[in-house]
Structure 1
Amino acid sequence: MSVQTRVEELGMSEVDEAEFSAMAERHRRELHVHCYRMLGSFEDAEDTVQETYLRAWRRRETFEGRSTFRAWLYRIATNACLDLLDQRRPKAATGGEVLWLQPYPDRLLDELPAGDADEPEALAVAQETIELAYLVAVQHLAPRPRAALILRDVVGWPAKDVAELLGDSVNSVNSALQRARAGMREHLPAERQDWTDGDQDVETRELVRRYTDASVATDIGELAAMVRDDVRTSMPPTPGLYVGREVVVDYWVESGFEGMTGLRTVGTSVNRQPAIGFYQWSDQEAAYLPLTIDVLRIAGGAIAEITTFHADRFSSLGLPERLPAGGE
């Protein structure tokens, strides 16, 4: 008898911990992405998935089979996110910055289930919106409208199921959803409908190559020629949002970027966007050590946004801890 059959015939209380873990583990990655979208932080999402599984095991008798096991886990995970938002941080971002924002490696996004007609939740997650600009916009929403938006527009839940989870009426959920969609339009880039995901095209790859070369050469003039007039840069968790080519170039000059030497790079992709990990030579370590990661948003053949993360993100993104002298 399969675990699923046992659950259907005998109830969740008859399933032992190993069987329960096997059922739950199938959904770990999509739950992690769901929590990440709610929280904007890779690390907080990891903690919340662990909390979700603890809650699910302790409350397993509450699973009555009226929904799928996956939907039941999503309910628990969403409530765990809402609890965390109430306890540990500002409920919403302000001023365009999300200081707790962390990147999500594409190599882990590739673990998401492809989905099929019998698993609409998996299909929704496989087609999710995960770009950093989307994450930033979501973080500007209050927690409950945020949950309504994600569950309705991304995961694809019916309004009545979202209302049951949030303890609201369907009308209240629909009203919150409309406010959330309006908030997203306010904070998302105007050209977002023109974005494309999937494999990068030749033009994008060439622009990333030029950006990488100019960065290693610390050629501010060349970099300035590649960015849009309204380019935005930020470096969470360090405060500071710079908007506009002139402002960004001034920031690069004032930060001493032109004087940097001994740089090497490793290309990668995060949040379905091109990214470059920068390393700097250390005489003491006789190796190139992690420095920063630049994640690029490209629109209209130019760089529209540069989000820079600190060296502590290298490990979660699967980037090398150091690069040796000489060859790759």
Structure 2
Amino acid sequence: MRSVGQTALDRARAGDERAFRDLTEPYRDELRLHCYRILGSLTDAEDMVQETLIAAWRGLERFEGRASLRSWLYRIATNRCLNALRAAGRRRPPEPVPPFTPPEPTRRGEPTWLQPYPDTLLERVADGAPGPEARYSLRESVELAFVTGLQLMPPRQAATLVLRDVLGYPAAEVAVMLGTTETAIKGTLQRARVALERRRSGVDRERIPPPGSAPERELTRRFAEAFIAGDVDGVVSLLTDDAWLAMPPAPHEYHGPAAIAEFLRASFGWSGRGAARLLPTRANTQPAFACYLGEPTTPAGLLVLTLGRDRINAITRFLDSDLARHLPAAAERR
């Protein structure tokens, strides 16, 4: 007697699209998150999931069942992401032109293609336990510092680290997924770990306020009040001495309270002509605010805060106004 799963697979192989959707739909959300980690862009990740499912549908007859269907889909998705990066290089969004003259940035940073990952989408990912060799939790592996670190290493290193240290696939299985040897995977993984830890070396996770905790709520409330009031000193008083301000897809990055204050004075001086609103939400498991300007309100991107123990380590303002479509419906109606 064939199992229900095998029967569905047989129907899908025979051309039953509904059976194929029943088989693959449970993995759509986690595949999107996987592609996002490698690509750093939610828009690109959504496109890549569609390509993955199309490729899986067309190649279903070649699925031999030696690995699980989930692993097979991850193999396709990973290689689709890597092929896309090799074929066209990093697709850089056009640099926005600010409506005011910003001060000279501390540096012009990467990656400008980075987008946030709203927690409303993250909550849809099945809370399955990763493989026994995983080193990072779901929460850690979607934080902005982690995703940014992945973008700054060669794509195959990033893919190897995600497959091994986030998803916990064994080295032998990752070697099959990436078409290489287990020895090569071990070497690539070691280099990726060193690069990522160097990027995250200043993060003291034990001192970060837990999500939804009173310290987190108090710090984000004070930030929102100062930001809405255009109170530069109030915002700066909440920053660590080593804080950064970034604004993807603009490459401008400002380091330290003095540089950030100079930028905020220019920005608040321009936006002060219209009322600003911040609606609380979450992205990349971090506290965030949807930004709206003027009357009637116009979407103005998303602010994501990276917190330390009692101060803000980084402010990332994503300027893409289309991000509002991923906000909770309740926030959109306010």
Please, what TM-score do these two structures have when normalized by structure 1?
A: 0.88
Q: How far apart in 2 are the matches of 1:316 and 1:121?
A: 36
Q: Counterpart of 2:323?
A: 314
Q: How far apart in 2 are the matches of 1:197 and 1:82?
A: 35
Q: Counterpart of 2:98?
A: none
CA RMSD, Structure 1 to Structure 2 (Å): 2.9
Q: Is the 8 A contact 1:114 1:122 kept in 2?
A: no
Q: Counterpart of 1:229?
A: 241
Q: Counterpart of 1:269?
A: 282
Q: 3-state DSSP class of the match of 1:141? A: coil
| Stretch deviating more after TM superposition (157-166 or 147-156) | 157-166
Distance change >3 Å, CA 3–CA 315, structure 1 → 2: farther
Write the letter of the residue equivalent to 2:65. Answer: G
Q: Is the 8 A contact 2:134 2:166 kept in 1?
A: no
Q: Counterpart of 1:301?
A: 310
Write the letter of the residue equivalent to 2:7. Answer: R
Q: How far apart in 2 are the matches of 1:216 and 1:240?
A: 22
Q: Counterpart of 1:136?
A: 148
Q: CA deviation at 1:310?
A: 1.6
Unpaired runs of at least 5, structure 1:
none
Q: Counterpart of 1:23?
A: 23
Unpaired runs of at least 5, structure 2:
93-106
Distance change >3 Å, CA 323–CA 181, structure 1 → 2: closer
Write the letter of the residue equivalent to 2:233. Answer: G
Q: CA deviation at 1:116?
A: 5.2
Q: Is the 8 A contact 1:276 1:293 kept in 2?
A: yes
Distance change >3 Å, CA 322–CA 302, structure 1 → 2: closer
1:206 has 2:213 as partner: no
Q: Counterpart of 1:70?
A: 70
Q: Counterpart of 1:169?
A: 181
Q: Counterpart of 2:163?
A: 151
Superposed CA offset, 1:237-263 (max 9, x none): 011111111111111123344761411
Q: Counterpart of 2:264?
A: 252
Write the letter of the residue equivalent to 1:111. Answer: R
Q: How far apart in 1 are the matches of 2:207 and 2:164?
A: 21
Q: How far apart in 2 are the matches of 1:122 and 1:225?
A: 38
| Stretch deviating more after TM superposition (182-191 or 59-68) | 182-191
* Counterparts of residues 34-49 of structure 1 (less than 5 Å): 34-49=34-49
Match of 2:298 among 289, 292, 307: 289
Aligned length in residues: 318
Q: Give the share of equivalent positions with the same residue, in percent.
A: 36
Q: Is the 8 A contact 1:7 1:14 kept in 2?
A: no
Match of 1:279 among 265, 270, 292: 292
Q: Is the 8 A contact 2:139 2:285 kept in 1?
A: no
Q: Is the 8 A contact 1:236 1:309 kept in 2?
A: yes
Q: How far apart in 2 are the matches of 1:303 and 1:143?
A: 30
Write the letter of the residue equivalent to 2:160. Answer: A
Q: 3-state DSSP class of the match of 2:324? A: coil
Please, what TM-score do these two structures have when normalized by structure 2?
A: 0.86
Q: Is the 8 A contact 1:290 1:321 kept in 2?
A: no
Q: How far apart in 1 are the matches of 2:49 and 2:90?
A: 20
Match of 2:229 among 208, 212, 217: 217
| Stretch deviating more after TM superposition (154-163 or 261-270) | 261-270
Q: CA deviation at 1:126?
A: 4.8
Q: Counterpart of 1:87?
A: 87
Write the letter of the residue equivalent to 1:279. Answer: Y
* Counterparts of residues 120-135 of structure 1 (less than 5 Å): 126=138, 129-135=141-147
Write the letter of the residue equivalent to 1:312. Answer: S
